[in-house]
Amino acid sequence: MNVILVFNRLVKTRSITLGGWQILFMMLLFGGLVWAAAFALQYTLLRFAPEGMSEGVRTLLSNMQSEEQQKQQSYVHNGLDAMATRVGQMQAQMQRLDALGARLAKLTGMNPEEFRFDQLPAQGGPLISAAGQELTVNSLEQQLNSLAQAVNDRSDKLSALETMLLQNQLSRKLLPSIPPINEGFYSSNFGWRLDPFTGSNAMHEGVDYMVPYGTAIRASAGGVVAFADVHPQYGNMIEIDHGNDIVTRYAHASRLLVKVGQVVRRGEKIAEVGNTGRSTGNHLHFEVRYKGIAQNPVRFLQKAAS
């Protein structure tokens, strides 16, 4: 754009060339002057001449103020509703964490009184205010978002820990962990001994419990009955498969109380003591085998008790 300036006193004329940026600047400047003038006019009317305004102008200004207030109130209400929703979600998550913490304390054997998950932790200390750090709606929302993410992360980790503890507890229940006889003593331990029938040195692949006839025999661990019948040497015998290649045997019983394929729990009564098979008296012969190889049952029982 070319602007030609003509002066009455000068013979010559002057030409000014305006580029795109200069034109844009002039337009913005003009718009700013118009906005400032309108604002100044409105302020003057409201401040210095309230009685002189017409009823239409009063109504227009009142409507504008009312709409602005409604927008601000709507914004505040929406923000409060959103934060209330987040707080409700976090309260529900905290209840889940409380219940999960109580279950974990029970699984690990902790005293529930030491960890009261339903009570807030004790806090205190001197008040030291931070100047210039006022809590705004945006900062509060950011803190709520960060706290919600932290709660979700803790919940996932605690759930994974609970799964591991449950698996560990289940594995312990599937190991021969309790004696098959509640009362009694070993009449013959695991290892080499003199055979009671031949008198020669022989391997004894279990432990013998010398108890009265008819004493209850209980499953040392949970599992599935793999054998429940008469054996030429073991007499009335039960064999329980506990998984992971671990099997227990209960021999010389007088009476069998379970059948093949039956699922038994740890401590469940499965038979009664007798004197059947290759035996010299009433007793229980108890074996633990891993991958078909006899193990010392006492080691499993001591490990479970420790």
Q: Where are the domains of the chain?
A: 2-53, 186-305
The DSSP element (H or E) to which 34 belongs, if any, is helix 20-48
The DSSP element (H or E) to which 226 belongs, if any, is strand 223-231
**Domain 186-305 = CATH 1.10.8.80:** no
Is the separation of the CB atoms in 236 and 254 below 8 Å?
A: yes
pTM over 0.85: no
Beta bridge partners of 247: 241, 289
How many angstroms separate the CA atoms of 152 and 92, rounded?
Answer: 11
pLDDT in the model for residue 304: 46
pLDDT in the model for residue 37: 79
How many angstroms separate the CA atoms of 42 and 36, rounded?
Answer: 10
Tell me the average pLDDT across 120-140: 65
Through-space distance between the first and last CA atoms of the chain, rounded to whole angstroms: 97
Instruction: Report the candidate in 171, 249, 238 with the shortest Cα–Cα distance to residue 208.
Output: 249
**Sign of the CA dihedral with 138 first, then 142, 145, and 147 last:** negative
* pLDDT of 50 higher than 60: no
pLDDT in the model for residue 218: 96
Q: Determine how many CB atoms are found less than 10 A away from the CB of residue 279.
A: 19
Taking the CA atoms of residue 223, residue 229, residue 232 and residue 233 in that order, the dihedral angle to the nearest 10 degrees is 40
Using alpha carbons only, how large is the chain's radius of gyration in Å? Answer: 44
Taking the CA atoms of residue 280, residue 250, residue 300 and residue 221 in that order, the dihedral angle to the nearest 10 degrees is -160
Q: Both tokens of residue 63?
A: 């409507």
Instruction: Report the candidate in 303, 276, 298, 274 with the shortest Cα–Cα distance to residue 287.
Output: 298
pLDDT tens-digit readout, 178-230: 899 987 777 788 888 888 888 888 898 999 999 999 999 999 999 999 999 99
Mean of the per-residue pLDDT values of the chain:
77
Cα separations in angstroms, 48 against 53, 61, 62, 146, 148 = 10, 15, 17, 50, 53
